[in-house]
Amino acid sequence: MEQDKAAKSSMLVRYIGIPGYQKGLSLQLGIEDFQIFLQLAEQNKIPLFFLQAATYSKSIKSTLLHYEERYKNTLDLIAYTAALLEKTRVPYALFKTLKPFPYTPSDIDVLLRSDESLQTVAETLMDHGCITLDKDNYGITLFSPRHKMNIDLTTQIAVSGLVYVDKKLVFEHLCEVKVNDTSVKTLEAPVELLVVAAHSLFKEQTFTLSDYYTFAILVQHWREAMKLAEIFHLELALEMALKTTRQVTASSFGSANALMREFTELGTINLLNEAEEREMPKKYDLSFLMLAFLRKVIEDPVSRHSLSCMARSISNPAFYGKLMQHITRRTY
C-alpha cells in the first residue's frame, strides 16, 4: 500500500514535470485516475499547478475553473491587504504566500516588526470588515468575509512559542513584486527558500510537493540560500529540503535529469536512497526532529531566547491536543 502511494506521488511529479527542466507527461487521464491524482495534489498543496499541467476530459473542466477562481481570489486578497498595509506605513513582509507557481492557500501570512505594528494593522483590517478569529503569543488571525480567507498576522516566525527564523535578518532581505498592479513586499528568493525549509521542518514537520516545486523552480537561488543558511542558523533545514528535492527528482525522472546536474554542480551529497520512490507529503521522523530542534536551540540565540515563551505554551493543556492532531495528520 505504501509503495503504491509512493509510486503515485512520483507519477504526479511526472505529470506536472519541472518548468525549465522537464516536460510533463501528455497522457489523457480518466475520471477515476484524475480524482486520485487531484486528491494527492490537494494534499501536497499544488491542485491548480496539477490541473494546469494535466490533460483530461472536458467533463471535469469545472474543477479547473474552481481553482482558477480561488487563485484569482488569493491574488486579490494579497493586493488588497498590501494596499491597506502601505497606508499604515508599517514595515511588513508577506512570506510563504507567493510561490513560483499558481498557489491556492487557505490563508496569507504577514510578518510585522513589533506588537505596535501588529495592533495598527489588525485595527486597520477590522475597520475594513475583517473579523478577529484567534490570537496567540505573537500574532492575530483575521478573516476576510469578502475573500472568505484568513489573514495571519505575526511578529515572529515561530512554532508553539519557539522562534525558528530571525525576523531581524528577514527584514534585511525584502523585495517588491507586483500583484494585480499593486506593489507587495515579500522575501528575496534565497530567504524565501530558507523560510520554506524551516517551516516544513519546525512548524509542519512535513515536506510537501509545494515545497519541492518551490525549490526545484528557484534552483538559481540555491547557492545564495546556502550562504545565508549559516547566518540564519538554518543549515540543517536547508540541507534536508535539498536532499528531499534531489530524491524526488531522481525517483521521478532518473539521475540523468537536467536538474540533477544542478545538484552535482552544487556539490551536495544525498544520503537518501535516490532510487526509492517516496510517498508525498513526507513526514519527518521523530528522532530527526528532536535533533533539529536541539541543534536549533543550541546554535541560535534568537531561538534560545524564546524558550520561556515556548514553556508558557507547553503549560497550556490545549497544547497537547493540538500536538496530537499535528503528529497524526497527513498534511498541513
Mean pLDDT of 229-243: 97
Average pLDDT, the chain: 90
Give the 3-state secondary structure of residue 180.
coil
Q: What is the pTM of this model?
A: 0.92
Around Cβ 48, how many Cβ atoms within 10 Å? Answer: 21
Residue 323 is predicted with a pLDDT of 47
Better pLDDT: 267 or 88: 88
Domains assigned to the chain: 86-186 (3.30.460.40)
The dihedral formed by the CA atoms of 235, 239, 241 and 243, expressed in degrees to the nearest 10: 180
Better pLDDT: 59 or 193: 193
- Please give the single-letter amino acid code of residue 243: K
Residue 18 is predicted with a pLDDT of 94
Give the closest residue to 11 by CA, choosing from 268, 264, 275, 253.
253
Q: Is the pLDDT of residue 306 over 90?
A: yes
Give the 3-state secondary structure of residue 189.
helix
Asked which of 40-49, 60-69, 104-113, 120-129 is least confident by mean pLDDT, the reply is 60-69
Rounded to whole angstroms, the Cα distance separating 89 from 92 reads 9
